[in-house]
């Protein structure tokens, strides 16, 4: 079986590392080693270096996770079931990965929002896209969409820190209240 193209392997490896280690904790040598790519290929495909790679990974990961969440969301019969399923899936992922895998967008945003405008903007674009899609699913209720996303992202942080799905479960119950 052929390996994916080098650029794709670098993007995938970086996304995995960002989710687990964050932006600042991920070195370029680790990226190319995990991607099984020559070091020079990183700058060939990403001449802007780690910042360009980071912004592209944030956008690609954002699109991937949006599609994944929408598949879960849209498979349910009601809005409440959809929201409940998203939170339950997040809790399950946290447990299955021993609280290592969380939202890669939030992980990067927490690290760089006040220090790197390029990456802040990339994370903002993803969160804006997620908000718009959820707002549509909620019949135009942007405030509720922002509340649900805020609850989900905050629950990722608390669940990882506490090594417990209790925050995710509580946030999910609050998110579906009144739907």
Instruction: For the chain, give the mean pLDDT.
Output: 95
This prediction has a pTM of 0.91
Domain covering 54-176 in this structure, CATH number: 1.10.357.10
Average pLDDT over residues 164-169: 98
Per-residue model confidence (pLDDT) at position 14: 95
**DSSP conformation letters of 151-174:** HHHHHHHHHHHHT-SHHHHHHHHH
Per-residue pLDDT reduced to its tens digit, 58-95: 999 999 999 999 999 999 999 999 999 999 999 999 99
Per-residue pLDDT reduced to its tens digit, 10-61: 999 999 999 888 899 999 999 999 999 999 999 999 999 999 999 999 999 9
- Tell me the domain boundaries of the chain: 54-176
> What is the C-alpha to C-alpha distance for residues 27 and 4, in angstroms, rounded to an integer?
22
Per-residue model confidence (pLDDT) at position 3: 87
Which pLDDT band holds residue 2 (cuts at 50, 70, 90)? confident
Per-residue model confidence (pLDDT) at position 50: 95
Per-residue model confidence (pLDDT) at position 119: 95
Buried b (16+ CB within 10 A) or exposed e, 87-126: bebbbebbeeeebebbbbbbbbbebbeeebeebbebbeeb
């Amino acid at each position: 079986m052929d390996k994916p193209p080098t650029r794709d392997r670098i993007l995938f490896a970086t996304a995995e590392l960002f989710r687990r280690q964050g932006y600042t904790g991920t070195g370029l040598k680790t990226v190319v080693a995990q991607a099984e790519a020559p070091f020079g290929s990183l700058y060939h495909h990403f001449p802007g270096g780690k910042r360009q790679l980071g912004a592209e990974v944030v956008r690609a990961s954002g699109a991937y996770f949006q599609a994944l969440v929408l598949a879960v969301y849209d498979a349910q019969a009601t809005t409440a079931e959809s929201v409940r399923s998203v939170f339950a899936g997040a809790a399950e992922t946290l447990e299955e990965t021993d609280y290592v895998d969380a939202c890669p967008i939030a992980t990067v945003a927490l690290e760089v929002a006040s220090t790197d405008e390029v990456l802040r903007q990339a994370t903002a674009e993803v969160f804006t896209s997620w908000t718009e899609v959820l707002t549509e699913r909620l019949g135009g209720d942007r405030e509720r969409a922002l509340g649900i996303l805020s609850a989900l992202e905050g629950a990722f942080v608390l669940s990882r820190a506490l090594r417990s799905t209790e925050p995710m479960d509580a946030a999910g119950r609050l998110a579906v209240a009144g739907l």
